[in-house]
Amino acid sequence: MTVKIAILKETQPDERRVAMIPAVAQRLAKLGANLVLEQGAGSAATYTDDAYTKAQVTQEPDIGKLVADADIVLAVQPPSVDTVKKMKPGALLISFIYAQTQPDLVKTLRDGKITTFAMELIPRISRAQAMDALSSQAALAGYYAPLLGSVHMQKILPMMTTAVGSLRAARVLVMGLGVAGLQALATAHRLGAVCEGYDVRPETKEEAESVGAKFVDTGVDARGAGGYARELTADEKAKVRAALSQHIAQADLIITTAAVPGRKAPRLIDAEQLAGMKEGSVVVDMGAPNGGNCEGTKAGETVKVGPVIMVGPTNLPSSLAAQASELYAKNIYNLLEQVLHDGVLKPDFTDEVITGTTLTHDGKITNAAIQKVIEGTPAEKA
């Protein structure tokens, strides 16, 4: 037996990634899958239709025909409601969904009896690391952030000795030391900057030091559930602010990465702190899509806020679309390996990874938190 897997072309204007690349598609075929690509879906990520053809992936220009009989539909960003309505009942959708901001889409998935694996819901446990698309994409975003910041700086990152004297290395401060933040620190350090890292979770001190950075210790411990930082109290925020302000003022480049899934990005730098920074200093606010970690951030724009050049990128992984797509495709492959066997789709809803990732199934919203937001009632198990 074989299952049909449809690969969608992304439609958001800042999205260049594709959910499946030719090399990984060949591996999927060995699990008993017949893959069909929406024509041109990989071109923005440098994967041509010819490359897919060589990988035994066929193309279909009509999205309605593509998804109408597909057993599995793959995408990066949440597909449109119209696309979901064309899917057959019982089909499986795998993509990022961000359900809190997509209530109409979630209801359509529920009512259409689509099983949805939301990639942002992959449990952050050791066994699921190879499926963790949030982390794989954050690693690339963190790598790219200091490069983006350096483009806007009017000084270089490393120390340089010239015939007329030496240029000092730039000072880089990274705030938020998750996957993206540590990758940003590592990249800035490799480029020769003097690096500092800050996080409300003190256990990240050793991780910051391991990539060549000093850790800014504020004396506040805000470890939260699921590997994320919890919200700080008012007293804790004041203590952290006092400790951080001096480091903020000394920085030539700051990268902020703090995010709480499904919520507004926490504020890390206020207007007064920005005003105290050096003229021409740069902040890359990776929290921009969710409201920004800094006062004055504008999502998708680069603006001047007092002395600071404020960069508010909205989709950094898409800037590295070829390899971001490669990592994302491998995340999906590792997930499908758990549910696709000899051409038969058999999700095990007693498995904690599958259960944790499932958003809708058999006409129900199965994630308790999302169901409470959308329906106001506790979720039933899949």
Residues annotated catalytic, as ranges: 124, 129, 132, 135, 228
Q: Report the alpha-carbon distance of residue 102 to residue 138 in Å, rounded.
A: 22
SS3 253: strand
Helical segments of 40-152, H only: 49-54, 63-68, 81-85, 103-111, 133-152
Contact 278, 252 (CB under 8 A): yes
Nearest to 44 by CA among 10, 69, 78, 74: 10
Nearest to 46 by CA among 331, 330, 327, 323: 323
Contact 95, 75 (CB under 8 A): yes
Contact 338, 354 (CB under 8 A): yes
Q: Give whole-number Cα distances, 127 to 19, 92, 120, 288, in Å.
A: 22, 22, 16, 31
Q: Give whole-number Cα distances, 298 to 89, 185, 229, 286, in Å.
A: 40, 23, 24, 11
Please name the amino acid found at residue 44.
A
Nearest to 189 by CA among 218, 138, 229, 146: 146
